[in-house]
């Protein structure tokens, strides 16, 4: 039996926290993490929102990252590459070492909302104890037990992704023409439109990956599994 937990991580020195506090209207998602030369950490962030000018100003002044580069620009989102200044609060890398899988990390409430897949409840206890040692608040927002044979377990969806996709389907968001807008889906979920869009995007990406592509029986070495804060 596995568990999915949603935690709210808070500490002023967690990566991009100063930017998150200055630009709460922007949605920041940790896209991936790479280990660069001499052990440095390179982080890619997926950004959505309406005020990229203010966001870039805050990002350029953020003491937790350096060497900020705009990698991809589209009409709805941007991808930025940054270097992590200090690994002192890179706690999610420790979570992976504990056997915990990072599913997503998205900005919110002045910190990071992270969704983790747990092998057991002891792993959650150990991770939260580690955060306490670092002075990091790790508040449990949601905790789900994933039963064998459940939709979430079969297709790899988080509860919030499953909820977003079903809400969008029920509201006719996937119809042509659409019966509702993204804002309408967001209203059903009680979240912002950017948050709803992010959940749909991540959930549909997972569904496509799990249903339309064959996965060889090899060890998963995706950089996403080593993402951290």
**pLDDT exceeds 90 at position 228:** no
Q: Of 97, 211, 102, 208, which Cα lies nearest the Cα of 158?
A: 102
Q: Which residues contact 117 (CB under 8 A, 6 or more apart)?
A: 2, 3, 4, 100, 101, 103
Asked if 127 and 166 sit in the same domain, the reply is no
Neighbours of 41 (CB within 10 A): 20
Q: What are phi and psi of 23, to 5 degrees?
A: -130, 65
Does a structural domain hold residue 222? Answer: no
**Rounded Cα–Cα distance for residues 125 and 127 (Å):** 6
Query: pLDDT tens digits for 117-129?
Result: 999 999 999 999 9
Instruction: Give the per-residue pLDDT at 227.
Output: 43
Instruction: Give the per-residue pLDDT at 223.
Output: 33
Query: pLDDT tens digits for 149-171?
Result: 555 555 777 778 888 999 999 99
Does a structural domain hold residue 64? Answer: yes
Q: Which residues contact 108 (CB under 8 A, 6 or more apart)?
A: 8, 20, 195
**Rounded Cα–Cα distance for residues 118 and 116 (Å):** 6
Q: How many residues does the chain have?
A: 229
Query: pLDDT tens digits for 34-66?
Result: 876 666 889 999 999 889 999 999 999 999 999
Q: Decide: 189 and 171 in contact? Cβ < 8 Å.
A: no
Asked if 120 and 167 sit in the same domain, the reply is no
**Does an H or E element contain 196, and which?**
helix 193-211
Instruction: Give the per-residue pLDDT at 104.
Output: 87
Asked if 141 and 161 sit in the same domain, the reply is no
**Rounded Cα–Cα distance for residues 134 and 120 (Å):** 22
Asked if 104 and 159 sit in the same domain, the reply is no
Asked if 12 and 84 sit in the same domain, the reply is yes
Asked if 179 and 109 sit in the same domain, the reply is no
Mean local confidence (pLDDT), 223-228: 39
Does a structural domain hold residue 223? Answer: no
Q: Which residues contact 175 (CB under 8 A, 6 or more apart)?
A: none
Asked if 169 and 97 sit in the same domain, the reply is no
Domain boundary residue among 127, 146, 165?
Answer: 146
Strand order in the sheet with 27-35: 65-73, 77-84, 41-48, 27-35, 101-108, 111-118, 2-10, 137-146
Query: pLDDT tens digits for 94-139?
Result: 898 999 988 889 999 999 999 999 999 999 999 999 999 999 999 9
Does a structural domain hold residue 224? Answer: no
Domain that holds residue 76: 2-146
Asked if 61 and 98 sit in the same domain, the reply is yes
Asked if 18 and 108 sit in the same domain, the reply is yes
Does a structural domain hold residue 112? Answer: yes
Query: Could you give the number of structural domains in the chain?
Result: 2
Query: pLDDT tens digits for 200-222?
Result: 888 888 888 878 776 444 333 23
Asked if 68 and 138 sit in the same domain, the reply is yes
């Amino acid at each position: 039996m596995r568990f999915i937990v949603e935690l709210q991580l808070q500490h002023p020195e967690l990566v991009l926290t100063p930017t998150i506090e200055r630009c709460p209207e922007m949605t920041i998602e940790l896209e991936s993490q790479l280990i660069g030369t001499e052990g440095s950490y390179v982080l890619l962030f997926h950004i959505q929102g309406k005020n990229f000018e203010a966001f870039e100003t805050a990002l350029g002044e953020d003491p937790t990252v350096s060497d900020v580069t705009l990698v991809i620009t589209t009409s709805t989102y941007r991808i930025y590459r940054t270097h992590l200044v200090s690994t002192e609060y890179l706690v999610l890398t420790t979570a992976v070492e504990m056997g915990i899988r990072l599913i997503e990390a998205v900005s919110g409430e002045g910190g990071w909302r992270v969704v983790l897949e747990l092998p057991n409840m002891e792993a959650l206890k150990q991770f939260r104890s580690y955060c306490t040692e670092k002075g990091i608040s790790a508040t449990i927002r949601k905790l789900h037990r994933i039963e064998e044979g459940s939709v979430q377990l079969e297709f790899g969806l988080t509860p919030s992704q499953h909820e977003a996709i079903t809400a969008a389907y029920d509201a006719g968001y996937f119809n042509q023409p659409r019966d509702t807008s993204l804002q309408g889906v967001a209203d059903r979920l009680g979240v912002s439109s950017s948050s709803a869009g992010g959940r749909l995007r991540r959930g549909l990406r997972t569904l496509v990956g799990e249903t339309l592509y064959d996965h060889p029986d090899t060890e998963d070495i995706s950089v996403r599994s080593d993402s951290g804060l």
